[in-house]
Amino acid sequence: MARPKIALIGAGQIGGTLAHLAAIKELGDVVLFDIAEGTPQGKSLDIAQSGPSEGFDATMKGTNDYADIAGADVCIVTAGVPRKPGMSRDDLLGINLKVMKSVGEGIKAHAPNAFVICITNPLDAMVWALREFSGLPHNMVVGMAGVLDSARFRHFLSVEFNVSMRDVTAFVLGGHGDTMVPLTRYSTVAGIPLPDLVAMGWTTQEKLDAIVQRTRDGGAEIVGLLKTGSAFYAPATSAIEMAEAFLKDQKRLLPCAAYVKGAYGLDGLYVGVPTIIGKGGIERIVDIKLNAAEQAMMDKSVDAVKGLVAACKGIDPSLA
């Protein structure tokens, strides 16, 4: 049986890390695409040469030609520019929208049956635009943000409680921006919800509020430290988790930027919601009942995403 084919569109910080992880986990043969000549070829060769030590069987190919992604089972898109200190994700909209157009057309022409995971920011608007440009079914195009935002939340919580990260579950919904919605009621330590842990004296409401805010600012904190780019290790592992769920039909319940029509009262918008990922792509959207405060946060987040989608339509009339 042929190995799955994984096409990585963008061979920058996240793209290179994705390629290395995909190889180490033997998820399939990897094609690394970028418009920068030499970068995908050099990174592919370097990663292939880690094979003897790691002991993986996967081929690595670097390319500047979309024809090489032909027949890919999964495409993970990181093409574009990341933010620098002082920039918001939304500042990237104009330049990355043009990139989504060329990437969407490349996928449409060469890998129309792929499960496509978008990482490029501003995430919720870019995954929407990528879907429009590629014309793929909505259930096969998804954005990575919630897995990362939840992982950041889980990490901070595990440090606060001094428990293993494996026992902390957390949900962050809504758009991938300052208005994201960490759901404390649905976040637990081994099933014990965070509000109960506050009542049990494990932490205080003030500390929990500070962790929620740090999660919202999680990307900016790293941008501020790195100064020359944004986070890439955890974003790559998050997308690999999603790709694996698809390739292995794991039916994982993961928060992702999915196309929501009906659930959450939405009428066709990409936004972070709990999803089931299996061989059918996004197989189900889980419509959690939100309380009034959570719904208000979700509404604010949805409005921010709608504003970005409207801005895309303003820039590129073919999207209107």
Q: How far is the CB of 149 from ligand A3D (least distance, A)?
A: 7
Sign of CA dihedral 239, 24, 67, 15: positive
Q: How far is the CB of 146 from ligand A3D (least distance, A)?
A: 9
Q: How far is the CB of 98 from ligand A3D (least distance, A)?
A: 7
What does each C-alpha distance from 2 to 27, 29, 221 come to in angstroms?
12, 9, 42
Q: Which is nearer to ligand A3D, 6 or 148 (CB)?
A: 148
Residue whose CB is nearest to ligand A3D in the complex, by number: 12
Query: In this structure, what token pair is assigned to residue 291?
Result: 């309380």
Q: Which is nearer to ligand A3D, 11 or 107 (CB)?
A: 11
What does each C-alpha distance from 86 to 91, 211, 223 come to in angstroms?
10, 22, 9
Q: Which is nearer to ligand A3D, 105 or 167 (CB)?
A: 105
Q: How far is the CB of 239 from ligand A3D (least distance, A)?
A: 9
Our answer to whether residue 176 is catalytic in this structure is yes
Q: Which is nearer to ligand A3D, 80 or 255 (CB)?
A: 80
> At 223, which amino acid appears?
V
Return binding residues for NAD(+).
10-15, 34, 96, 119-121
CA atoms within 13 A on the CB side of 142: 34
Of the chain, the end-to-end C-alpha distance in Å amounts to: 43
Write out the residues near ligand A3D by the rule CB under 6 A: 9-15, 34-36, 39, 78-83, 92, 96, 99, 102-103, 119-121, 123, 144-145, 148, 176, 229-232, 235
Q: Which position among 20, 110, 138, 176 bears the catalytic label? A: 176
Cα separation, 112 vs 134, in Å, equals 8
What kind and span of H or E run contains 201?
A: none
Active site residues: 176
